[in-house]
Amino acid sequence: MNITFNKENNTFKIDTENTSYIIGIVDEEAFIGHIYYGPKLDEVPLHLLRIDENPFVPSKNNRDRGSFMDTFPCEFPGNGLGDYREGAVEVIDCEGHSAVNFTYDDYKIIDGKTVINGLPQTFENEKSLDGKMGAKAKSLEIYASDKSLSLKAVLRYTVFEDSDALIRSVKIINDSQSSIYLTKVLSASFDMDSENYELLTLHGSWARERQIDVRPIGYGKTSVGSVKGESSHQEHPFMALLEKGATQEKGKVYGFNFIYSGNFLAQVEKSQFDSVRAVMGINPGGFKWELKKGESFEAPEVALVYSNEGLGKMSRTYHDLYRNHLIRSPYKDKERPILINNWEATYFDFNTEKLLDIAREAKKSGIEMLVMDDGWFGKRNDDNSSLGDWNVNEDKLKGGLKYLVDEVNKIGLKFGIWMEPEMISPDSDLYRAHPDWAIAIPGRVPTRSRNQYVLDLTRPEVLEHTWNSIKTVLESANIEYLKWDMNRQITDIGSAYLGKDNQGELCHRFALAVYELQERLVKTFPNLLLENCSGGGARFDPGMLYYGPQIWCSDDTDAIERLGIQEGTALIYPLSSIGAHVSDCPNHTVGRVTPFETRGHVALAGTFGYELDITKIPESDRQQIPEQTAMYHKYHSLVRSGDYYRIASYRENRFYDCYGVVSKDKSEALFTFVQVVGRPNYHSRLIRFAGLDPDAKYLIEGENEVLSGRTIMEAGIFVQNPWGDYKSKLIHFVRQQ
């Protein structure tokens, strides 16, 4: 890791162990140009800026300035001055004009990393996953300005000693005498020559999140985004540019992941000259932020990862980056308790006795925590009321919350609880007292979704009230886990608190308010295990991982549906962050019946837990739980800290799935094989595994066979196809001394 400035040719070179990112300052006007991002170089390819070719730089050929502007690979492109490709920033100045262009002033190279106020962010870490000390950071800040507007920008870049990722973000400062409205501030823009790259994005729906989609990059703009006030089920704040034909092991891949949980835009644009501009940031749709004189605006971070060894290496780089430099929770490196959640067991129909019955039975099977889901507060017996009334419903929970928690603790289980703090039901005491606390536009009947509204957390008194509600609940009993849900998206963008010129700030301010509440939560309750959730996995993003180490991945708990959902999620996020439970069959979402064993194997590639009525499931299933909980204890540290390898995808081959984790020291590996659809006259499948030490010998547990890592990876081994559909098996390799 290093960052250098070359005075001779005015270039910055940011190096990680295997990559270089190079920026150049060009011409008398000091344009900031992007030169190169890719495998590590030992010199600066200045010729890539083509400043000696047509069109000339403005100082030599101002006649064709427009052509220069529209072709120059600008590091942070502005708006309205000749670059017609997507800009990264747009304004409305005090005269109503929207042009802006930042040029270079100065720079600073920093040991470490500047802290960004109020946003989730990567940080330096003394110790990385493999125990290496000193995973330090180095940062570059480029100071730029638009002199006509007296607007300044700080372009920030950070790299870490133990990572090939590059973190970018931007800060805008108003040095003028009046307000300037920011109508677009993207966090990163990246120009490159097109090599026929393809675009990989993740799309989805409720119960079908993060499905991998790959398409060619055509001329014009192709984007994914959200204006829903959260990162969303439908599209994901991630994109990757792939060399055509890139696989898990081979090919160039550029990944972009936005460390943010609100509205986003991720876009590529292929220009008339076949260059590609990729941009990522807060979605400009509906965004308008007043930057008063002297104020600054911080845009969230983007994590860029370049891999020249295909998607697999990109995934492993993201996993390590997030485990080492983003997730803060003490649970990051700890075994998480195996929980049982009562949502699919009872939905709203439960009481103290029912929960204690579940707890007693769960204890017998090695389960360690009971989580009480939705329906314990106000008068909530379905999803039509009571959000905001965070007082326990004593008709259901006789004796109150503390009594229940104490009884659960006596049984020997920890206790966790569900809340949806950002919401308000029209049928709630809170709404009756404060109808103006809901996000709404005066004179327009607000859109209900799941019969609820979103609280206007931009209002300080609403934020304080919400914080007090959360704190009061958590302090009222020995609660060791919180499932923080968000079950609807934002509509009717209107805040009774914000002025008429500031309504365009609502969505970002809402995201900042959620971050403020979660920051208070992790500071006040440092040992609480926080699992974020949003109607399943609609807010599964790196922003939320800064606060909680795990996120409920999807409301679809069917083992087969989960293969695709977890594949897309694990493309970026470590398995230790993926909320995954064993549920009952027929599955409540798709009606499929799968073996209990397969449900356990699939949930093992996540946080692992149960979501079923353990007092009612078939005896044959219940009998398997002690074995499954023991399996979790055996493999959890490997799953939590190992390197992830995807071997085969049911999504592509329509027959089977295979993936696994290899410990950092390569002493053991666990692969999961799922035979999704049986195939006649096809008794075994040759699998070439990955990630092992080629020179070491490995025992294939249960087979009593020892083979070298090289043989297992290059020649492969035959995995017997289990008899029937939806069957799975684990393959455990243990290195021999």
Separation of CA 86 from chain center: 24
- The Cβ-side half-sphere exposure at 176, using a 13 Å CA radius, reads 21
Asked if residue 216 has a cis previous peptide bond (ω within 30° of 0), the answer is no
* Residue closest to ligand GLA (Cβ): 374
Sign for the CA dihedral angle at 618, 622, 624, 628 comes to positive
Tokens of 235: 């599209």
**Looking at 162, 541, 555, 613, which residue is catalytic?**
555
Phi-psi category of residue 210: left, alpha or beta, with phi > 0 → left and psi -120 to 50 → alpha: left
Minimum separation from the CB atom of position 218 to ligand GLA (A): 36
Minimum separation from the CB atom of position 488 to ligand GLA (A): 10
Minimum separation from the CB atom of position 386 to ligand GLA (A): 11
**Is 485 considered catalytic here?**
yes
Tokens 């069917």 -> residue: 558
**Looking at 27, 93, 485, 556, which residue is catalytic?**
485
Closest CA to 346 of 318, 327, 374, 310: 374
- The Cβ-side half-sphere exposure at 335, using a 13 Å CA radius, reads 15
Phi, psi of 190 (to 5 degrees): -150, 115
How would DSSP label each residue in 448-473? PBTTBEEB-TTSHHHHHHHHHHHHHH
Asked if residue 586 has a cis previous peptide bond (ω within 30° of 0), the answer is yes
How would DSSP label each residue in 165-219? EEEEEEEEEE-SSS-EEEEEEEEEEEEEE-SS-EEEEEE--TTS--EEEEEE--B
CB of 406 within 8 A of CB of 399? no
Closest CA to 295 of 172, 185, 183, 187: 172
Is the Cβ of residue 317 or residue 342 nearer to ligand GLA in the bound state?
342
Angle of helix 596-604 versus helix 559-570 axis, rounded to 10:
10
Burial 506-535 (b: 16+ CB within 10 A, else e): bbbbbbbbbbebbeebbeebeebbbbbbbb
Separation between Cα atoms, residue 575 and residue 529, nearest integer Å: 16
The site for ligand GLA (CB under 6 A) is made up of 343, 373-374, 383, 418, 485, 487, 533, 535-536, 552, 555
Minimum separation from the CB atom of position 348 to ligand GLA (A): 8
- Counting Cβ atoms within 10 Å, is residue 218 exposed (0-12), middle (13-18) or buried (19+)? exposed
Separation between Cα atoms, residue 40 and residue 98, nearest integer Å: 38
Give bridge partners of residue 550 from the DSSP assignment: 531
CB of 277 within 8 A of CB of 268? yes
Alpha helices in 92-189 (DSSP H): none
- Counting Cβ atoms within 10 Å, is residue 73 exposed (0-12), middle (13-18) or buried (19+)? buried
Is the Cβ of residue 418 or residue 673 nearer to ligand GLA in the bound state?
418
**Is 725 considered catalytic here?**
no
Active site residues: 485, 555
